[in-house]
Structure 1
Amino acid sequence: RNLLDMDTFSKSDPVVVLFVQGSGSSEWKEFGRTEVIDNTLNPDFVRKFVLDYYFEEKQNLRFDVGLLAMPSALGGSNLLSISPCPMGTRRRGVPGKRCGTILLLAEELSNCRDIVTMQLCANKLDKKDFFGKSDPFLVFYRSNEDGTFTICHKTEVVKNTLNPVWQPFTIPVRALCNGDYDRTVKIDVYDWDRDGRQHPCAVGPAASLTLPPRTQLNFTVAIDFTASNGMPSQPTSLHYASPYQLSAYALALKAVGEIIQDYDSDKLFPAYRLRAVVPLQAPVPVPQNNNADNPSCAGIEGVLESYLQSLRTVQLYGPTNFAPVINQVAGTAAQVTDGSQYHVLLIITDGVISDMLQTKEAIVTASALPMSIIIVGVGPAEFEAMEELDGDEVRVSSRGRYAERDIVQFVPFRDYVDDSGNQVLSMARLAKDVLAEIPEQLLSYMKTRDIKPRRTDP
């Protein structure tokens, strides 16, 4: 929308080219490009891009909007705007330049393989041309699951008639309604002009959907500061960071946090300690920034900075209690249960736990709320207690009550350490496995409460 006008005697003829960046690579490769739309600063492109999407991986995309000199190469074009962004985020234009806005809409594709063939005609359309009749064509819009409409097909133009008959065409049902035959398809009739402008000749009916706001993901971190980790200043400590590499705690935090922060709009993350010597009146759990009224840190870098600062200023202590921080996040999650908020708690620990019974009780209670728990184990421990909390084999129970959903995912960090010492590769492997269950856990909460997909504002 509102692209720069690069033509002298008319408007721009834009095209969008999608580039993808491989994991661990700095090279951008062209994935595909849309059709060119003549003489407009507000194009609606019909051609779609189909990509494999992985919640647990960072997949960088770049959208170049250009005015092509030739359809076969972007090199002869005037570049209007570039928008690199990770999948799962939305970015507008280029900072410092008013290039316009790129609107992206993504939806998981169904497995429907049906196709539909149709032929349409119209009668007594409006006369739009001064010296002739009209040059009508049809535009089809699919109804998305969030209530918006997206262009999905254009017919050919039939010249100089008010009673057009368009050629038969075949379209995948997945493109028309994503396999959902109950969705509305809107059809508009436009008059074509040589200058690229189009005037409505007739407009078809469309359903109006009113849905609540989209789901917001909220991320909370809890890091084990108990004495069982060893003194941070000693190389034998799990918190020890050499001048050349981060500690396992910091690597786990960055690996998970840098992926999940793309799904949190405000990038403010509450961070807690489990547990260090603190004043007797300090709250439990203890905020890393020692601010009980506002325990949030700005971005993952803020959490990491707060963690490193805590290592320099606090003394590691015990016991290792998980229940307080789980109950803290559960209390926040219980305030909004309509699906507009979902919470993810990351606990990084050496595996020693002092309140197993209370933790099981907290997990059973939290399983009925919009939240998930990720536990990353660092160090050489066997982690039997953490495996028990995971609940993959046997659902967690407490006092005769079983967890309503499996909301805990545990992984030992040592299983993802690259043998060559490549920390970037270790972090990517960890993030991929530890976040893999979050989408299904979120969906399980929505489905058990019959919560429908949410509307997204452009």
Structure 2
Amino acid sequence: MPRNPLSEQMSPSTQPNPPRAPLEVKSVKLGAVSPQTGHRAAGSGRLSRPCPRAPWRRDGAATRWRSRHLGAEPPHGGATTSRRSHRPPLPAATSPRLPPKLLLAPRPLRRRLPLAVAAWRCGEGRLAPPPYLLPSLSTLSLLHPLPLRAAPSMFGLEKPARSGGFPNMASVGDFNALSSSIPATKVELSVSCRNLLDRDTFSKSDPICVLYTQAIGNKEWREFGRTEVIDNTLNPDFVRKFIMDYFFEERENLRFDFYDVDSKSPNLSKHDFLGQMFCTLGEIVGSQGSRLEKPIVGIPGKKCGTVIVTAEELGCCRDSVLMQFCANKLDKKDFFGKSDPFLVFHRSNEDGSFTICHKTEVVKNTLNPVWQAFKISVRALCNGDYDRTIKVEVYDWDRDGSHDFIGEFTTSYRELSRGQSQFNVYEVINPKKKGKKKKYINSGTVTLLSFLIETEVSFLDYIKGGTQINFTVAIDFTASNGNPSQPTSLHYMNPYQLNAYGMALKAVGEIIQDYDSDKMFPALGFGARLPPDGRVSHEFALNGNPQNPYCHGIDGVMEAYYRSLKSVQLYGPTNFAPVINHVARYASSVKDGSQYFVLLIITDGVISDMAQTKESIVNASKLPMSIIIVGVGPAEFDAMEELDGDVVRISSRGKFAERDIVQFVPFRDYIDRSGNHVLSMARLAKDVLAEIPDQFLSYMRVRGIKPSPAPPPYTPPIHVLQTQI
């Protein structure tokens, strides 16, 4: 019978309760620690650690009673443990029955709920929370007795009716600790597989994992991310991780699809399907050790293997390290030549297992390799725990994927931070050979050549330092959009709601305009005949002024867009290169990091000047700019996927783009079936803008541009009051 992670009992041996100071209270926010103690066990990051148990928690009847009557003294005069008996019981007014839906929560998370339920009752009865709840509830702005209502969808309750006022306006009293938009924590998902299907004839499969998430309120699956491809293996341990926001109160449905990659095409339908696995993020987090192992399904009549998904809470360390290693006198593994060695780095977990975090390149045909320096974040290497064990394995690479194990050694971040010294020369040990040969010494040595610590700067560091984001919009005015006066046209000006162009423009523009101080945006069009002579232009100003195409704010851009629809004639073809080159000319004049340019292209059809557009993008990848392409309408956008270099970096005339600067999304994927256009716009903005900070940082890092220091906070002038005597 399969194990149920939601009802599994915590093992005291693996989940100890660390010693805690009196009156320690954990926050409702998962992963937060009491401000009184600041205690966190070394190496902790697992989300399955239980909170302090209630003082009356006992085995048997008292335990069952606790699930039914939270917050009151146990029946039959049940004694409390002497270590925690000083904690006062919850007041009677804050002692409701725990709602049934909360009892379905994973046990380690369920122990965090008394505070939330108490806060809920405090709000319902408008009572001040007990004093010992204040340290925890201070994160919820409950320093004063304010009403706090629980999420109706979570507790299964009807939302109280309002008496007067505006029914749709939010208030402080509506703040909801359990359904706020702030994630409880960020978790990192590591994926491994065992015994995958072999779909290749003369070799093993080349697997890749694709993660999908399901949007709340509908059954639509959307791609979240992909791992790297690992060649010739049926037991992959993927290095690339998935980092997700974890919300306790939301059911986050996940789907892991596995494919055998046969070509460089990003289109998954062109690769062999290996199976899939369905679960929820809560199911992973709530499993023993936050480690979920499930069978892969999806191909009838075949055993598709198993997948292992491990979740770990991410720390907030912003340091990264640049390391370089070399080896000496490694074991010879190849019959006709020397070894082809590479290193694999793993970080330890609390249950004694290890999670892969980095692989070096392969150095061919040598027993004394010198690997290239590589950069890795401290968060990935040890999640901020400097004493966490790091295991390094040395392998001899084989073409068929059956790499030969040479040996291993262990270290820690603290040891590595000593840099190049006698402390960082490690013997490579093969346990099997050591057990068989009495005279065995080692299988070679690995030496740390350099160790450089860098503090990673964030997107906000540059914004605080004064970097401006310049936003430019380019709209497709080709005839394939249809007659704007007809309801079937993508440019149809509906008096009651925005068309697809308007929604995409408003969704993205309203966010970007907050990072532009003057709120003046160039607005361009392409593919139309212009009055009075009817010439076709692929780079015209929507406001009719080519010398000054700037519009004030997004509302000004929308007004210029509607005005252009009445004055120009839709024509063609669909050329992107002119508007890309237009923005590139401005970006090329400002390379000091003070400005960054974002071009939004909204189009309905297949691109006509693909070769010229590729060349423009390759050239623009050296400049401080990013390109967002939103495809509207029912057309196929396969060519656009090629421009979005997430999988295969775009190239032109044998020259590859310096970095990925293009993000493409089809607008039809964001149309809410319930007709909620506000939700559609919010989802669209989130996805198209998600890559901008990383693209921005990649440019700054390559150019070595550091953020300017933030200006000092404003201090009002002090007026000296003079009095007459």
TM-score range normalised by the length of the shorter chain: 0.5 to 0.7
Q: Amino acid of the residue matched to residue 334 of structure 1?
A: S
Matched, 1:317 2:460: no
Aligned match of 2:673: 419
Per chain length, whose mean CA-contact separation is higher, i.e. which structure has more relative contact order (CA < 8 Å, sep 6+)?
A: 1
Cα distance per residue 1:276-304 (max 9 Å; x no partner): 11247787510101111110100000000
Looking at structure 1, the residues matched to 317 and 184 of structure 2 have their Cα atoms a distance apart, in angstroms, of: 10
Question: How far apart are 1:455 and its partner, in Å?
Answer: 2.1
Matched, 1:27 2:279: no
CA distance 1:452–1:368, shift in 2 (3 Å): same
Among 601, 615, 633, the residue aligned to 1:347: 601
- Ranges in structure 1 where 5+ consecutive residues have no aligned partner: 1-16, 33-48, 54-107, 116-179, 184-211
Paired residues of 2:618 and 2:658 also in contact (CA < 8 A): yes
Among 381, 384, 393, the residue aligned to 2:647: 393
Paired residues of 1:276 and 1:315 also in contact (CA < 8 A): yes
Aligned match of 1:205: none
Where 1:222 maps in the other structure, the secondary structure is strand
Aligned match of 2:696: 442
Matched, 1:266 2:518: yes
Aligned match of 2:498: 246
Matched, 1:377 2:631: yes
Looking at structure 2, the residues matched to 248 and 321 of structure 1 have their Cα atoms a distance apart, in angstroms, of: 20
Question: How far apart are 1:380 and its partner, in Å?
Answer: 0.2
Q: Amino acid of the residue matched to residue 498 of structure 2?
A: L
Where 1:445 maps in the other structure, the secondary structure is helix
CA distance 1:338–1:231, shift in 2 (3 Å): same
Looking at structure 2, the residues matched to 362 and 271 of structure 1 have their Cα atoms a distance apart, in angstroms, of: 19
Paired residues of 1:222 and 1:272 also in contact (CA < 8 A): yes
Looking at structure 2, the residues matched to 370 and 388 of structure 1 have their Cα atoms a distance apart, in angstroms, of: 21
Looking at structure 2, the residues matched to 362 and 182 of structure 1 have their Cα atoms a distance apart, in angstroms, of: 34
Question: How far apart are 1:182 and its partner, in Å?
Answer: 8.8
Question: How far apart are 1:181 and its partner, in Å?
Answer: 9.6
Question: How far apart are 1:27 and its partner, in Å?
Answer: 1.8
Looking at structure 2, the residues matched to 407 and 340 of structure 1 have their Cα atoms a distance apart, in angstroms, of: 18
Aligned match of 1:357: 611
CA distance 1:294–1:181, shift in 2 (3 Å): closer
Q: Amino acid of the residue matched to residue 422 of structure 1?
A: N
Looking at structure 2, the residues matched to 302 and 281 of structure 1 have their Cα atoms a distance apart, in angstroms, of: 25
CA distance 1:456–1:28, shift in 2 (3 Å): farther
Paired residues of 1:351 and 1:381 also in contact (CA < 8 A): yes
Cα distance per residue 1:378-433 (max 9 Å; x no partner): 00011011111111121111111110000000000000111111110000010010
Aligned match of 1:433: 687
* Count of residue pairs brought into register by the alignment: 279
Among 538, 551, 562, the residue aligned to 1:308: 562
Where 1:277 maps in the other structure, the secondary structure is strand
Q: Amino acid of the residue matched to residue 487 of structure 2?
A: P
Aligned match of 1:221: 473
Question: How far apart are 1:369 and its partner, in Å?
Answer: 0.4
Looking at structure 2, the residues matched to 405 and 29 of structure 1 have their Cα atoms a distance apart, in angstroms, of: 45
Where 1:302 maps in the other structure, the secondary structure is helix
Q: Amino acid of the residue matched to residue 585 of structure 2?
A: G
Calculate percent identity across the aligned residue pairs.
66
Alignment of 1:2-401 (within 5 A): 26-29=169-172, 110=318, 214-278=466-530, 279=533, 284-401=538-655
Paired residues of 1:374 and 1:408 also in contact (CA < 8 A): yes
Cα distance per residue 1:212-231 (max 9 Å; x no partner): 96311100000000111111
Looking at structure 1, the residues matched to 573 and 486 of structure 2 have their Cα atoms a distance apart, in angstroms, of: 21
Cα distance per residue 1:187-224 (max 9 Å; x no partner): xxxxxxxxxxxxxxxxxxxxxxxxx9631110000000
Question: How far apart are 1:242 and its partner, in Å?
Answer: 2.0
Question: How far apart are 1:347 and its partner, in Å?
Answer: 0.2
Aligned match of 1:452: 706
Looking at structure 2, the residues matched to 281 and 235 of structure 1 have their Cα atoms a distance apart, in angstroms, of: 27
Q: Amino acid of the residue matched to residue 656 of structure 2?
A: Y
Looking at structure 2, the residues matched to 284 and 291 of structure 1 have their Cα atoms a distance apart, in angstroms, of: 15
Cα distance per residue 1:54-87 (max 9 Å; x no partner): xxxxxxxxxxxxxxxxxxxxxxxxxxxxxxxxxx
CA distance 1:51–1:268, shift in 2 (3 Å): farther
Paired residues of 2:576 and 2:607 also in contact (CA < 8 A): yes
Paired residues of 1:367 and 1:405 also in contact (CA < 8 A): yes
CA distance 1:18–1:431, shift in 2 (3 Å): farther
Between 354-363 and 212-221, report the one with greater CA deviation. 212-221
Question: How far apart are 1:29 and its partner, in Å?
Answer: 4.2
Greater Rg, structure 1 or structure 2? 2
Q: Amino acid of the residue matched to residue 244 of structure 1?
A: Y
Where 1:451 maps in the other structure, the secondary structure is coil
Looking at structure 1, the residues matched to 674 and 638 of structure 2 have their Cα atoms a distance apart, in angstroms, of: 28
Looking at structure 2, the residues matched to 182 and 354 of structure 1 have their Cα atoms a distance apart, in angstroms, of: 44
Looking at structure 2, the residues matched to 28 and 439 of structure 1 have their Cα atoms a distance apart, in angstroms, of: 32
Looking at structure 2, the residues matched to 264 and 18 of structure 1 have their Cα atoms a distance apart, in angstroms, of: 31
Where 2:569 maps in the other structure, the secondary structure is coil
Paired residues of 1:407 and 1:441 also in contact (CA < 8 A): yes
Looking at structure 1, the residues matched to 185 and 575 of structure 2 have their Cα atoms a distance apart, in angstroms, of: 40
Where 2:627 maps in the other structure, the secondary structure is strand
Paired residues of 2:465 and 2:707 also in contact (CA < 8 A): no
Question: How far apart are 1:236 and its partner, in Å?
Answer: 1.2
- Ranges in structure 2 where 5+ consecutive residues have no aligned partner: 1-139, 143-150, 152-167, 177-181, 187-315, 319-378, 387-452, 457-463, 714-725
Paired residues of 1:223 and 1:272 also in contact (CA < 8 A): yes
Where 1:241 maps in the other structure, the secondary structure is coil
Q: Which is richer in helix?
A: 2
Structure 1 segments, 4+ long, off by >6 Å, are 49-53, 180-183, 280-283
Q: Amino acid of the residue matched to residue 572 of structure 2?
A: G
Paired residues of 2:627 and 2:662 also in contact (CA < 8 A): yes
Cα distance per residue 1:118-158 (max 9 Å; x no partner): xxxxxxxxxxxxxxxxxxxxxxxxxxxxxxxxxxxxxxxxx
Paired residues of 1:238 and 1:248 also in contact (CA < 8 A): yes
| TM-score normalised by L of structure 2 | 0.36
Q: Amino acid of the residue matched to residue 434 of structure 1?
A: V
Cα distance per residue 1:329-383 (max 9 Å; x no partner): 0110000111111000000000222111100000000000000000000000110
Looking at structure 1, the residues matched to 385 and 609 of structure 2 have their Cα atoms a distance apart, in angstroms, of: 54
Paired residues of 2:529 and 2:535 also in contact (CA < 8 A): no
Looking at structure 2, the residues matched to 362 and 248 of structure 1 have their Cα atoms a distance apart, in angstroms, of: 27
Question: How far apart are 1:239 and its partner, in Å?
Answer: 0.6
Q: Amino acid of the residue matched to residue 286 of structure 1?
A: F
Question: How far apart are 1:275 and its partner, in Å?
Answer: 2.0
Looking at structure 2, the residues matched to 308 and 51 of structure 1 have their Cα atoms a distance apart, in angstroms, of: 43
Paired residues of 1:226 and 1:318 also in contact (CA < 8 A): yes
Where 2:649 maps in the other structure, the secondary structure is coil
